[in-house]
Chain A
């Protein structure tokens, strides 16, 4: 269908109107209601070619509720083409749409309207607060393939496009396994991605199915023992770390045991990622004498050997 045909196609206009109405369902604004009852509709609503509401969704809704038939209206007729009309509609919604709503707009335009990809990217992405880049367009379409529960979660947790897009590399089975457990955990966007990523890595490394992972007895016991959602989330994150970083955790345990051998008042810090072969030693002292005593203790062969063993372990 060419753009010219599209301009004259009532079906398109109807689809567009209902799309926007469903996209941003409005709750009646009580202050505006009072004002309309007292003064009527002062500012006209704007409609394109009888069908597409450009501006005035609230006013129209209240007028319908109040059974007001006399609605001032500005009609944009043949002077304005479809793309410009859409542009006006998007401008009226600017700042009011969530990420998922903005992505829905892109997907809708792409699949229902005869608008070129270049126009979508260059003209409409910026109006929806995205940068006008091909990969952003592709990311939007990919995000819309996520299960609806995940999309709702992204909306609720205010995911960025980058964060939502990260979820698209996970299998539907994995996504579903998390969405059925949302009530068990207290995930922020970043913790959710961290956990998804962890399970994803574990499944790939050990070539096991999602169901086997969640059915693991040790995991089930740990989750059952946790009282709150926050506690369960923390337990789950630690469980994942123990699965994903066994060598690191074992080595850190060895170092922690060595560090415990140092006398009271002397503490040691190291890079838990084990990348930096260096330690930071802290001494707590309350006087010059105290400091002398601590330094003497630290320079004992036994303590020096402990520190040396820690450094060797890094």
Chain B
């Protein structure tokens, strides 16, 4: 995937970083810069790439602001900001103060911070994603960041690195010694949504081909069906999606599967309409929830989830997908992202007791299915 950056610069402190090396390989003449010019427009920022040093704490929690919505307690590593893709529902359009596309060059420093923090809780299995403010693999050609992080995470004990992407940029990570400590995840949607709303991303077909490649290279795979989007024909769209997915991956190689529906805050609605006037995503029947975000009304969400889970059960060949019941080798943990406890009950018959409980259920699933990845004794009090 060739990007058309109009400007690529590197902080003077990052001249020996992995990213500098990758850029040199691409034939980019490195321009060093100490300036911190802010690009307020997130789209303009997509054309400018900067390699930055790590600043302050990079590891944080991907947290919800309302206890009425259950969050999975995954940690995030802020190693990239903004993204070359242009999804119409992307929250970054209303989030970034500086739209400059930037990657942290200090991969060693990022891993050192992770190590320092996870060592404080050795009895706990951490999941850490690099996707909070961007795509984990979209800039791999320029940054080589995943290639630098994967072998380093392979040496850490109680952590799984999650690289989440809408790209097909996987070739450079296939030969790495990953020790299954990296889960390569895809954000997936129906073909219509990929084609009409996820601009400049890899096609669904190419994402699935890339997914097959990483699975064959021994990586565990994560699937994120989020955001599910309501449109005329969504039923067939999502049925086809699941059918296609399971032609490319077997359940035993899937670490986890998340499901969620479109949501955004009221300010974001305005931004989406401004930036994507041709899109009618925000015009569906939606209400504001307790977390201030606008979602489809619950009866519509139920319709979508009911059909989706029916098809997911077929794909996984499991009648019971609850993360709280017995775990099998072919039963990855399936969870909702930012949904209410009663929606969990509607789908699974019960819900996690808390965010920490769900975090523990992740560890339990990994512990039982892939014991070599989480060798310490499983203890819920650690979560």
User: Which residues of A are at the interface with B, using a C-beta cutoff of 8 A?
Assistant: 134-135, 166, 169, 200-202, 204-205, 207, 244-248, 251, 273-277, 314
Q: B290 touches which one: A202, A275, A314 (CB < 8 A)?
A: A275
User: When the two chains form their complex, are residues A246 and B274 in contact, meaning their CB atoms are under 8 A apart?
Assistant: no
Q: Chain A residue with minimal CB distance to B273?
A: A169
User: When the two chains form their complex, are residues B300 and A247 in contact, meaning their CB atoms are under 8 A apart?
Assistant: yes
Q: A251 touches which one: B282, B288, B299, B342 (CB < 8 A)?
A: B299
User: When the two chains form their complex, are residues B340 and A277 in contact, meaning their CB atoms are under 8 A apart?
Assistant: yes
- Tell me whether B108 is interfacial, beta carbon within 8 Å: no
When distances are taken between beta carbons in the complex, the residues of chain A under 8 Å from B68 are 276
When distances are taken between beta carbons in the complex, the residues of chain A under 8 Å from B282 are 201
User: When the two chains form their complex, are residues A205 and B298 in contact, meaning their CB atoms are under 8 A apart?
Assistant: no
- Tell me whether B205 is interfacial, beta carbon within 8 Å: no
When distances are taken between beta carbons in the complex, the residues of chain A under 8 Å from B300 are 247
Q: B287 touches which one: A169, A207, A275, A314 (CB < 8 A)?
A: A275
From 273 to 306 in chain B, residues with beta carbon under 8 angstroms from any chain A beta carbon are 273-274, 277, 280, 282-285, 287-290, 297-300
- With A205-B280, A205-B283 already in contact, 19 other A-B pairs whose C-beta atoms are closer than 8 Å: A134-B40, A166-B270, A169-B273, A169-B274, A200-B273, A200-B283, A244-B285, A245-B287, A247-B297, A247-B299, A248-B297, A251-B297, A273-B287, A273-B288, A273-B297, A274-B299, A275-B287, A275-B290, A275-B340
Shortest C-beta distance, A308 to chain B (Å), equals 14
Shortest C-beta distance, B73 to chain A (Å), equals 22
From 339 to 368 in chain B, residues with beta carbon under 8 angstroms from any chain A beta carbon are 340, 342
Q: Determine the distance from Cα of A202 to Cα of B280 in the docked complex, in whole angstroms.
A: 10
User: When the two chains form their complex, are residues B287 and A274 in contact, meaning their CB atoms are under 8 A apart?
Assistant: yes
Q: Determine the distance from Cα of A48 to Cα of B340 in the docked complex, in whole angstroms.
A: 65
In the A-B complex, the 3 residue pairs with the closest CB atoms: A205-B283, A277-B342, A201-B283
When distances are taken between beta carbons in the complex, the residues of chain B under 8 Å from A247 are 285, 297, 299-300
Q: Determine the distance from Cα of A244 to Cα of B286 in the docked complex, in whole angstroms.
A: 8
When distances are taken between beta carbons in the complex, the residues of chain B under 8 Å from A207 are 280
When distances are taken between beta carbons in the complex, the residues of chain A under 8 Å from B297 are 245, 247-248, 251, 273-274
Among B283, B287, B299, B340, max chain A CB count under 10 A is at B283
Q: A276 touches which one: B270, B290, B299 (CB < 8 A)?
A: B290
When distances are taken between beta carbons in the complex, the residues of chain A under 8 Å from B285 are 244-248
Q: Determine the distance from Cα of A81 to Cα of B274 in the docked complex, in whole angstroms.
A: 39
Shortest C-beta distance, B100 to chain A (Å), equals 14
Shortest C-beta distance, B292 to chain A (Å), equals 12
> Is chain A's binding surface mostly helix, strand, loop or mixed?
helix
From 282 to 337 in chain B, residues with beta carbon under 8 angstroms from any chain A beta carbon are 282-285, 287-290, 297-300
Q: Determine the distance from Cα of A133 to Cα of B285 in the docked complex, in whole angstroms.
A: 35
Shortest C-beta distance, B13 to chain A (Å), equals 28
Shortest C-beta distance, A201 to chain B (Å), equals 4
User: When the two chains form their complex, are residues B283 and A204 in contact, meaning their CB atoms are under 8 A apart?
Assistant: yes
Q: Chain B residue with minimal CB distance to A274?
A: B298
Q: Determine the distance from Cα of A274 to Cα of B346 in the docked complex, in whole angstroms.
A: 14
Shortest C-beta distance, A245 to chain B (Å), equals 6
User: When the two chains form their complex, are residues A248 and B287 in contact, meaning their CB atoms are under 8 A apart?
Assistant: yes
Q: Chain B residue with minimal CB distance to A171?
A: B277
CB-defined A-B contacts under 8 Å, sample of 16: A134-B40, A166-B270, A169-B270, A169-B273, A200-B273, A205-B280, A207-B280, A245-B297, A246-B285, A247-B297, A251-B299, A273-B288, A274-B297, A274-B298, A275-B298, A276-B68
Q: Chain A residue with minimal CB distance to B68?
A: A276
Shortest C-beta distance, A131 to chain B (Å), equals 13
Q: Chain A residue with minimal CB distance to B291?
A: A275
User: When the two chains form their complex, are residues A135 and B270 in contact, meaning their CB atoms are under 8 A apart?
Assistant: no
When distances are taken between beta carbons in the complex, the residues of chain B under 8 Å from A273 are 287-289, 297
Q: Determine the distance from Cα of A200 to Cα of B273 in the docked complex, in whole angstroms.
A: 10
When distances are taken between beta carbons in the complex, the residues of chain B under 8 Å from A201 are 282-283
Q: B289 touches which one: A166, A251, A275 (CB < 8 A)?
A: A275
Shortest C-beta distance, A143 to chain B (Å), equals 13
When distances are taken between beta carbons in the complex, the residues of chain B under 8 Å from A277 are 340, 342
From 121 to 165 in chain B, residues with beta carbon under 8 angstroms from any chain A beta carbon are none
User: When the two chains form their complex, are residues B283 and A202 in contact, meaning their CB atoms are under 8 A apart?
Assistant: yes
When distances are taken between beta carbons in the complex, the residues of chain B under 8 Å from A134 are 40
User: When the two chains form their complex, are residues A135 and B40 in contact, meaning their CB atoms are under 8 A apart?
Assistant: yes
Q: Determine the distance from Cα of A276 to Cα of B288 in the docked complex, in whole angstroms.
A: 11
When distances are taken between beta carbons in the complex, the residues of chain B under 8 Å from A200 are 273, 283
Chain B 247-270: CB-based contact to A (< 8 A → 1; otherwise 0): 000000000000000000000001
When distances are taken between beta carbons in the complex, the residues of chain B under 8 Å from A276 are 68, 290
When distances are taken between beta carbons in the complex, the residues of chain B under 8 Å from A246 are 285
Among A200, A204, A274, A276, max chain B CB count under 10 A is at A204
Q: Determine the distance from Cα of A275 to Cα of B283 in the docked complex, in whole angstroms.
A: 19
When distances are taken between beta carbons in the complex, the residues of chain A under 8 Å from B283 are 200-202, 204-205
User: When the two chains form their complex, are residues B40 and A204 in contact, meaning their CB atoms are under 8 A apart?
Assistant: no
Q: Determine the distance from Cα of A171 to Cα of B123 in the docked complex, in whole angstroms.
A: 57
Q: Chain B residue with minimal CB distance to A248?
A: B297
Q: Determine the distance from Cα of A68 to Cα of B349 in the docked complex, in whole angstroms.
A: 89
Shortest C-beta distance, A275 to chain B (Å), equals 5
Q: Determine the distance from Cα of A313 to Cα of B298 in the docked complex, in whole angstroms.
A: 10
Q: Chain A residue with minimal CB distance to B271?
A: A169
Q: Determine the distance from Cα of A207 to Cα of B232 in the docked complex, in whole angstroms.
A: 13
When distances are taken between beta carbons in the complex, the residues of chain A under 8 Å from B340 are 275, 277
Q: Chain B residue with minimal CB distance to A243?
A: B285
Among B273, B277, B298, B300, max chain A CB count under 10 A is at B298
When distances are taken between beta carbons in the complex, the residues of chain B under 8 Å from A135 are 40
Among A135, A274, A275, A314, max chain B CB count under 10 A is at A275
Q: Chain B residue with minimal CB distance to A251?
A: B299
When distances are taken between beta carbons in the complex, the residues of chain B under 8 Å from A244 are 285
Q: Chain B residue with minimal CB distance to A278?
A: B342
Q: Chain A residue with minimal CB distance to B345?
A: A277
Shortest C-beta distance, B251 to chain A (Å), equals 31
When distances are taken between beta carbons in the complex, the residues of chain B under 8 Å from A248 are 285, 287, 297, 299
Q: Chain A residue with minimal CB distance to B279?
A: A204
Q: Determine the distance from Cα of A247 to Cα of B287 in the docked complex, in whole angstroms.
A: 11
When distances are taken between beta carbons in the complex, the residues of chain B under 8 Å from A251 are 297, 299
Q: Determine the distance from Cα of A314 to Cα of B283 in the docked complex, in whole angstroms.
A: 23
Q: Determine the distance from Cα of A97 to Cα of B351 in the docked complex, in whole angstroms.
A: 56
Shortest C-beta distance, A69 to chain B (Å), equals 53
Q: Determine the distance from Cα of A274 to Cα of B285 in the docked complex, in whole angstroms.
A: 13
Q: Chain A residue with minimal CB distance to B290?
A: A275
Q: Determine the distance from Cα of A253 to Cα of B301 in the docked complex, in whole angstroms.
A: 19
